[in-house]
Every structure is written in structure tokens, then in C-alpha cells.
């Protein structure tokens, strides 16, 4: 069976009953067109599934729309910094410039940033979705050919490409590693807010590992923290329980640093620790930190490659790329039950 021919600008023009030049003016917003004509053209684009080759147009016209817009929660977070660098390195080879902004995980701020990027007519838009954000406002832009890629977490209200880590499987592997070293009371210290996709997936992996080992899921052993100070306080509270945990699983790199600080302060060398996300100088800690490492460079490369493929005319169905995690054994997660760490 022959592959279906991609619709062209001429096909859209025929569907509406206008010239190809009129369709081009509407899509490129570079000339007069009535509101009704614009509505009909966009409806025909959606019906036919037409996707302009934006890369070719941008290279032809030059200017500020040879850019990629990236919205991340925190520019200071090493994980997102590594993702952004990888994206920048990849798109630079295609003559594109990366524009970045931080949403601080705030839906309104995220929307304001995406609107600014759209006003600049970026060639592609990449977003780490904020909790509570609705991305349905991007449907029209997506329909008219703008590549939109979600990073780290799926978006809401828009079917488009996503690139995520294997959060659930990675957390399950990390907790199973603690179980294998004899631990039965294992606490989970996760990020906030509780509806955060990565937190939910990692908590699910934690619970799956306990279930597979035949261990109960004790709600008293689940705590939340969004910064190092809160993670340190949560750790102190967990260790003060009448039946405290003998091991901890940190939901991300920031939480891990707070836990490490509290264990050092309280001189608790008997408590094992595995963290989701690698941290800078992890090998220099005493003991060195065992982690479930994400691959931010590969996440960035995969996201950039997906956006570039869409710019080049890839019209296959939206897909989710899952980047594997890797357990790195260094010492902190191998403390046996009842060990003193000496």
C-alpha cells in the first residue's frame, strides 16, 4: 500500500478556495487576510494535517525566529542546567539559538514565558510543565506546525512529544537495592508538590519495590520536602520515629543533599541512603553516595532531535521517549542492616 502523500500548501489553498499566496500570508502572518479567511485556512490546515517546513522558512527569512524556546523550572538546578546545555549544543549545529526562561514551577509564569516565545515566533518550543498548568492554548500553534516538546514531565491538554526519564523503574531498582542489603524499614523523602509527575512516579516505584519484597507500605515512612532545609528536617523527624527507618530513598538531588547533611549532623553512620539523581561531588562524600542516575544530556539530545525532526517534516504520531536510568553503587546504599558504617 502506497504511503499517503503529505498535504501541501496548494492542497490547503484548494480546500479553502484561495491562492497559495494567501495561505502563506496567513500561516506566516506576513500580510493582510480577513479574520474569516484566517479561520478557514487554519481549519483546513487542521483537517488536512498540513505541517509547514518551518526550518526551511526560518533559514530563508532569517531573524529572531531561528530560535528555540525552552522553559525550565529552575535555572540553578544542575539537572536542568545539563539538559539545557545538551539542547543548546544540539540545535547550535543547525544554526539555531536557544532562548531560556525559568517558570519557578508556576503555571502563570510558565504561560507568560511561552507567550513571549510565541510572540518571537520561535522555531520550536520546549517546556518542563508546571504542576497545574494547562497547555491546550498551544493546540493552534501545534496544528499550524510549531514543534512542541515536553521535558521531564508530560503536559496537560495537548497531545505532543515528550521526553522523560524512567522514573518508576529507576526508583523501584533503587529501593530493591536497599531491600537486597537487608533493609525492611525504608523511608521515602520526595519532592513537592505531591501532584508533581516525577514525585508520583518515583513514589509508585518505591511502593512497587516494597510490594515485590512482601513489605508493607507504611505511610509514616513517606515524607516531603522541596529544598535542602526541609529535607534535613524531614529526615530528623523520620529518624525520631518510635520505629525509625534503617534506610532512606531520596526523591531527587536537592532532597538527597538535605538528607546527607542531617545524617552527618546527627552522626548516623548506620542509615543507608540511595538517591534518585546524581549530585555533584557524590564520590567525595563519606561514604560516597549511591544513586539512581538520570541522563540529562541524553534527555536534552532526544528532545532537541525530536524538535528538529518535526521541523524537517516528520508528521508521525506524537510519541514519548523514555530515557533509562542507571544505578551507580558507591557505598551509602550498601550499608547492611545493623551496620555501624565503621
SS3 at position 175: helix
Domain for residue 308, yes or no? yes
* Whether residue 237 sits in one domain with residue 215: yes
- pLDDT at residue 169 tops 60: yes
79-130 pLDDT, tens digit each = 999 999 999 999 998 889 999 999 999 999 999 999 999 888 898 999 999 9
> Cα separation of 318 and 159, whole Å?
7
Please provide the average confidence, as pLDDT, over all residues in the chain: 90
Residues 152 and 195 in one domain: no
Output 203-207 pairs: Cβ under 8 A, ≥24 positions apart.
203/171, 203/251, 204/168, 204/171, 205/167, 205/168, 205/169, 205/170, 205/171, 205/172, 205/173, 205/174, 205/175, 206/171, 206/172, 206/175, 206/249
In this structure, the answer to whether residues 208 and 175 fall within a common structural domain is yes
Residue 339: pLDDT band with limits 50, 70, 90: low
Asked whether the beta carbons of 15 and 44 are under 8 A apart, the reply is yes
Q: How confident is the model at residue 341 (pLDDT cuts 50, 70, 90)?
A: very low
* Backbone phi and psi for residue 93, each to the nearest 5 degrees, phi listed first: -65, -15
Q: What percent of the chain has pLDDT over 70?
A: 92
> Cα 182 to the chain's mean position, in Å?
33
Helix (H/G/I), strand (E/B), else coil: 139: helix
In a domain, 236, yes or no: yes
Angstrom distance (rounded) from CA 317 to CA 181: 44
Q: Same domain, yes or no, for 265 and 306?
A: no
Grid coordinates in use for 129? Answer: 510543565
* Contacts of residue 215, Cβ cutoff 8 Å, sequence gap at least 6: 179, 184, 186
Note whether residue 209 is domain-resident: yes
pLDDT in tens, 172-227: 999 999 999 999 999 999 998 899 999 999 999 999 999 999 999 999 999 999 89
CATH of the domain at 207: 3.40.50.2300
> Could you read off the pLDDT of 244-266 as tens digits, one per residue?
999 999 999 999 999 999 999 99
Contacts of 204 (CB under 8 A, 6+ apart): 168, 171
Element (H, E) at 290: strand 290-293
Instruction: Give the integer Cα–Cα distance in Å for 74 and 104.
Output: 6
Residues 150 and 289 in one domain: no
Same-domain status, 201 and 261: yes
Cell, residue 300: 536534552
Residue 179 covered by a domain: yes
Exposed (0-12), middle (13-18) or buried (19+): which is 338, by Cβ within 10 Å?
exposed
Q: Kindly state whether residues 128 and 220 are assigned to the same domain.
A: no
Q: How many domains does the chain contain in total?
A: 2
Q: Are residues 290 and 173 in the same domain?
A: yes
Q: Domain check: are 132 and 187 in the same one? A: no
Determine contact, residues 8/50, Cβ cutoff 8 Å.
yes
Model confidence at 53, in pLDDT bands (50, 70, 90)? low
- For residue range 221-245, what is the model confidence (pLDDT) as tens digits? 999 998 999 999 999 999 999 999 9
Cα–Cα distance measured from residue 176 to residue 81, given in angstroms and rounded to the nearest whole number: 29
Predicted confidence band at 340 (pLDDT cuts at 50, 70, 90)? low
Q: Can you tell me the distance from the alpha carbon of 209 to that of 173, in angstroms, rounded to the nearest whole number?
A: 7
Closest CA to 247 of 202, 188, 288, 186: 186
Task: Based on the fold, state whether residues 287 and 318 are members of the same structural domain.
Answer: no
279 and 302 share a domain?
Answer: no
Query: 9 or 260, which is more confident?
Result: 260
**44 lies in a domain?**
no
For residues 73 and 131, state if they share a domain.
yes
Residue 203, domain extent: 167-294+327-334
Nearest 5 degrees, angle CA 117-CA 118-CA 119?
A: 90
Is residue 30 situated within a structural domain? Answer: no
Amino acid at each position: 500500500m502506497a504511503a499517503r502523500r503529505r498535504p501541501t500548501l496548494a492542497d490547503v489553498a484548494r480546500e479553502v478556495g484561495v491562492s497559495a499566496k494567501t495561505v502563506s500570508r496567513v500561516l506566516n502572518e506576513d500580510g493582510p487576510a480577513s479574520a474569516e479567511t484566517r479561520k478557514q485556512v487554519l481549519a483546513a490546515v487542521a483537517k488536512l494535517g498540513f505541517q509547514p517546513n518551518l526550518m526551511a522558512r526560518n533559514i530563508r527569512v532569517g531573524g529572531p525566529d531561528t530560535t528555540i524556546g525552552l522553559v525550565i523550572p529552575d535555572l540553578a538546578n544542575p539537572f536542568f542546567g545539563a539538559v539545557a546545555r545538551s539542547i543548546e549544543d544540539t540545535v547550535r549545529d543547525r544554526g539555531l539559538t536557544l532562548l531560556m526562561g525559568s517558570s519557578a514551577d508556576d503555571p502563570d509564569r510558565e504561560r507568560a514565558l511561552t507567550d513571549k516565545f510565541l510572540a518571537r515566533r520561535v522555531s520550536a518550543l520546549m517546556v518542563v510543565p508546571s504542576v497545574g498548568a494547562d497547555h491546550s492554548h498551544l493546540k493552534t500553534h501545534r496544528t499550524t506546525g510549531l514543534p512542541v516538546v515536553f521535558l521531564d514531565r508530560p503536559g496537560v491538554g495537548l497531545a505532543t512529544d515528550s521526553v522523560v526519564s524512567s522514573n518508576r523503574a529507576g526508583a523501584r531498582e533503587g529501593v530493591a537495592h536497599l531491600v537486597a542489603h537487608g533493609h525492611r524499614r525504608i523511608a521515602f523523602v520526595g519532592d513537592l508538590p505531591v501532584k508533581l509527575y516525577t514525585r508520583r512516579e518515583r513514589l509508585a516505584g518505591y511502593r512497587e519495590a516494597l510490594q515485590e519484597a512482601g513489605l508493607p507500605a507504611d505511610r509514616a515512612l513517606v515524607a516531603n520536602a522541596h529544598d535542602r532545609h526541609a529535607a534535613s528536617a524531614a529526615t530528623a523527624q523520620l529518624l525520631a520515629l518510635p520505629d525509625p527507618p534503617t534506610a532512606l530513598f531520596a526523591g531527587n538531588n536537592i532532597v538527597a543533599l538535605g538528607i546527607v547533611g542531617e545524617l552527618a549532623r546527627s552522626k548516623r553512620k548506620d542509615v543507608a541512603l540511595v538517591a534518585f539523581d546524581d549530585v555533584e561531588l557524590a564520590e567525595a562524600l563519606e561514604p560516597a553516595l549511591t544513586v539512581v542516575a538520570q541522563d540529562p544530556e541524553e534527555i536534552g539530545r532526544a528532545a532537541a532531535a525530536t524538535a528538529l525532526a518535526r521541523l524537517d517534516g516528520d508528521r508521525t504520531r506524537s510519541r514519548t521517549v523514555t530515557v533509562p536510568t542507571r544505578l551507580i553503587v558507591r557505598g551509602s546504599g550498601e550499608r547492611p542492616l545493623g551496620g555501624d558504617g565503621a
